[in-house]
Chains A and B, each alone.
Chain A
């Protein structure tokens, strides 16, 4: 807590910095080298020390209006000029325009005899003269350690070096002093003892037969700086350090969507495919069809007229085209049209840095809308895990900043924890598709699912992934009580279900028929009963009629009888027995 005020105070009067103009280095050092102070750049042979120094001067002269003096103790002016001309730096022209002074200090110990006291005043005079002649603001001393070889008296030399650095500071020039890497210390002759403001270490390491250059800011007095080791590369246009952590996360996110080339997959991704400019990771075990999905996506993009750049680290372009023909993708024509471009390289061809540089260059030259990297894991062999992650980050950031959609395939090994190896990479990815093997019932099938898709509703379903001569299709995987079924077992399961349905259909039809029969039977019975009843009723009617007739006859007879007997009350006597007779019958 107590230190806080002093900290903020130091921040307010921050060190003035001198931009190097070297891509990435200014980001790591947050602005450049300490202005007006010497910086020590040390490293082994072939690390790029001289190049870094030369670039510092050239950028200073060309871009920042700061002329520079290059004092070389090893190479002649002509050698330096020709060395850096391959990187597009025309030193001779800068010298002509008085933006640069080249001075070669030649030292040959065999020519020198030491007799008594001396100092290096001539070197100071020389440097001073060179600085003043062009008004230099930057100075490079490459490599001061040559002095140790050329001058016999180390005590004098050390005293003079101390004086030199003091003098450089007083002169107010920003100096870069290169030195050979020492065995136990940073530099062979302990120059770091004198230059304490900023020390940059360059390193050229060979891991698994692949060389990668690294840069590390060992020390930067009075300023914050990135302390990591950063891979750097020497490309056609000079040195470029690729800081991993210093890249800002501020790329624009376009909202458009881009089809995957597989309709069902689009459907799984909210119906419209990936976001344009997003990065997509496609992981899978060997033989799950990663390249096929990638090629499908690429073809769809190219057919829409977008430019596609396909980085292949496993197969040659011809091989990919041939293989993709078998699933109905015709890439040859697109390649011939120029909208589709392959870049194939063996991962072991060069170090990671150079791969990255090449990819950057290709992307810048071809200006694609879609970039495929198949597979990114092949590059693992060209660098360590960390480096690969760093490289992927830089690559993706770069592509995103250019709003290029990137699809990166990654090989996982069966048996490995599936997500483990990619979890680091996945955090950088916007969408992650997983291709997986499902083995069972004597066959192997592929399934696909969307592990994540930032910013869109996506299906959580496992789909079976079919590759046929007509292309790629996704079908619903059967998910039943016995788990996910794919391939033949899915078909078998479907057949089984159909059979079951058929059986139950037949069953119900049978029942229906039985019921129908029953109904018919009942109806017959009803009809029989009815006819019985009809019969009986008919009989009854007949009987009734007979009874009526008989009554009538009887009445007639009685009437006749009464008439014969001359009775008065015929009607009454004759009617009453008839009514009672009818009642009893009913």
Chain B
């Protein structure tokens, strides 16, 4: 998994107008959890942030020094770098509702 950039925002934004979402997904090797997390994230972004997001995947096995910067402990961890504030979501992102709440795409409850 290499760092990949999602499509540029072109269509009218529904929320957080025209802001680019920067998401960073920390994984450690190609574990089932990591793979699941990435695909879950991809699906959520496609359905809620179409064209307005960028996902950066960081493999700590290859770049262990990077875990310090975002204070990563758990794998997988999704960090929402932008828009601020920074949010962290840990787990394989299988619980879509909680991911949406965590990303502040949907208010809790």
The chain A residues found within 8 Å of chain B, CB to CB, are 103, 105-107, 111-123, 125-126, 128-129, 147, 150-151
Contact = CB atoms under 8 A, between A and B. Distances in A.
A115 B60 contact: no
Given A111-B87, A113-B98, A125-B60, A118 B71 contact: no
B12 interface: no
Interface residues of B, number: 34
B101 interface: yes
Interface stretch (B3-11, B16-24, B62-70): B62-70
B72 interface: yes
Contact of A111 (B26, B33, B37, B88): B88
Interface string B69-91: 00111111100000000111111
A115 B106 CA distance: 15
B30 interface: no
A159 to B, nearest CB: 13
Given A103-B68, A129-B67, A120 B73 contact: yes
Given A113-B99, A123-B74, 18 more contacts: A105-B71, A107-B73, A111-B87, A113-B87, A113-B90, A113-B98, A114-B90, A115-B93, A116-B36, A116-B37, A118-B76, A118-B90, A121-B74, A122-B26, A122-B74, A123-B73, A125-B60, A125-B75
Contact of B71 (A106, A115, A147): A106
A113 B75 contact: no
Given A114-B91, A115-B91, A120 B74 contact: yes
B83 to A, nearest CB: 15
A308 to B, nearest CB: 57
B75 to A, nearest CB: 4
Nearest to A151: B74
Contacts of B33: 117-119
B50 to A, nearest CB: 20
A32 to B, nearest CB: 30
A99 B28 CA distance: 27
17 contacts: A112-B90, A113-B87, A113-B101, A114-B91, A115-B91, A115-B95, A116-B92, A117-B92, A119-B33, A120-B74, A125-B67, A126-B60, A126-B68, A126-B72, A128-B64, A147-B73, A151-B90
B65 A129 contact: yes
Contacts of A113: 87-90, 98-99, 101-102
Given A114-B98, A129-B67, A122 B28 contact: yes
A121 B34 CA distance: 11
Contacts of B99: 113, 115
Contacts of A105: 71, 73
B74 A125 contact: no
A115 B98 contact: yes
Interface of A is mostly: mixed
A129 B90 CA distance: 21
A484 to B, nearest CB: 80
Contacts of A115: 89-95, 98-99, 102
B61 interface: yes
A121 B75 contact: yes
Contacts of B61: 125
A118 B102 contact: no
Nearest to B29: A121
A122 B94 contact: no
A125 B87 CA distance: 21
A122 B91 contact: no
A128 B61 CA distance: 10
Contacts of B40: 116
Contacts of A126: 60, 64, 67-68, 72-73
A194 to B, nearest CB: 17
Nearest to A119: B75
Q: What 7 pairs across the A-B complex have the smallest Cβ distances?
A: A113-B102, A129-B64, A116-B91, A116-B94, A121-B75, A115-B91, A116-B92
A129 B87 CA distance: 25
Nearest to B32: A117
Contacts of A117: 33, 36, 91-92, 94
Contacts of B31: 121
Interface in B45-67: 60-61, 64-65, 67
A219 B91 CA distance: 37
